[in-house]
Amino acid sequence: MPKNGIFRTARGYQLHLRGKKTLTPSMEDYLEMIYRNCRQEGFTRVNQLAESLNVQAPSVSRMVQRLTQLELLDFEKYGIVRLTQSGRELGEFLFHRHQVIEQFLSLLGVTDSLLMETEMIEHNISLTTLEKIARLNLFFQTNPEIYARLQEFEPRALDPLHFAWKDWLVTTREE
């Protein structure tokens, strides 16, 4: 077996990890958005969540019920949703995780697909890797002269990444 693990398909890794994680990616998305929305007034509403996540209100209601069962939310009357203490702590982590990844991609120069790729990556990253990325972000922020050198760097060795079949992939290179 290779030292750093066994090969699986992406789906295989997801299934392998599923048993070890309490929250699904979808639950993480909701909790993060509830945290974002609650930052102003301390609460959010089912309708507001449906709008900010581009989903239907009945889907929000179902998810809010599941998260309430996990004691992460308090669901009050009139569609008002509040975070419990543990919900707030989890939401804050998810929010920071998002920021770290977005900042990292941003430092790399990603622009057009920044939000989409952050949303795709955040659910599939380990805490160890996240901490290493946060460290790199901080390194570039505190050493702007080194970051400037990265931006000037134009290697010729990227040719293998330029190929004819990119349309076969879901995400293509930014032009």
Residue number, nearest CB to Mn ion? 98
Q: Which of 19/124 has CB closer to Mn ion?
A: 124
DSSP letter string, 99-151:
HHHHHHHHHHT--TTHHHHHHHHHTT--HHHHHHHHHHHHHHHH-HHHHHHHH
Residue of the chain from 53, 72, 83, 98 that contacts Mn ion (CB under 5 A): 98
Residue 148 CB, nearest approach to Mn ion (Å): 29
Q: Which of 30/32 has CB closer to Mn ion?
A: 32
Burial 124-144 (b: 16+ CB within 10 A, else e): eeeeeebeebbeebeeeeeee
Q: Which of 52/68 has CB closer to Mn ion?
A: 52
**Window 5-34: residues binding Mn ion (CB under 5 A):** 32
> In this structure, how many other beta carbons lie within 10 angstroms of the beta carbon of residue 63?
22
| 97 sits near Mn ion (criterion: CB under 5 A) | no
User: Could you tell me which stretch among 6-14, 46-54, 91-99, 124-132 binds Mn ion (CB under 5 A)?
Assistant: 91-99
> In this structure, how many other beta carbons lie within 10 angstroms of the beta carbon of residue 14?
15
Q: Which residues bind Mn ion (CB under 5 A)?
A: 32, 98
